[in-house]
Amino acid sequence: MIAAAGGRPNGSGKGYRMRDKSQNSTTDNARPGASSAAHKFAVGTFVTLIGKSGQTPFKVTRLLPDGGSGFQYRIKNEDENYERVAIEPLLAPIPR
């Protein structure tokens, strides 16, 4: 008797076949909508919040992943005792 892939006899009626692993792709497991784009602002860059009154400078302190609305950043103003989280579309660079 000839054994099929997996060591089972051909006559077992189970129809065993060897899986073609060449069809697997690393992109199959990628998150839908994920892109290879990078953050626009680096840590240490000074930015301002679009729509906030004035040109209050904020320093980017940390890069955060895309939360569904674009890349996120931790930003801090020197006059505040806390950090904020802002999405990339709401930030604009401040020339230095």
- The residue segments making up the domain with residue 89 are 31-93
Provide the CATH number for the domain around residue 51.
2.30.30
Number of domains in the chain: 1
Is 64 a member of any domain?
Answer: yes
| Banded model confidence at residue 49, pLDDT cuts 50, 70, 90 | very high
CA–CA dist 75, 47 (Å, integer): 8
Angle at alpha carbon of residue 52, lines to 94 and 59, rounded to 5°: 40
Q: What is the DSSP string of 11-34?
A: GGSS------GGG--GGGGSPTT-
pTM of the model: 0.60
pLDDT tens-place string over residues 27-36: 344 444 455 6
| Segment (H or E) for 93 | strand 91-93
Residue 4 belongs to a domain? no
Look at the chain and count its residues: 96
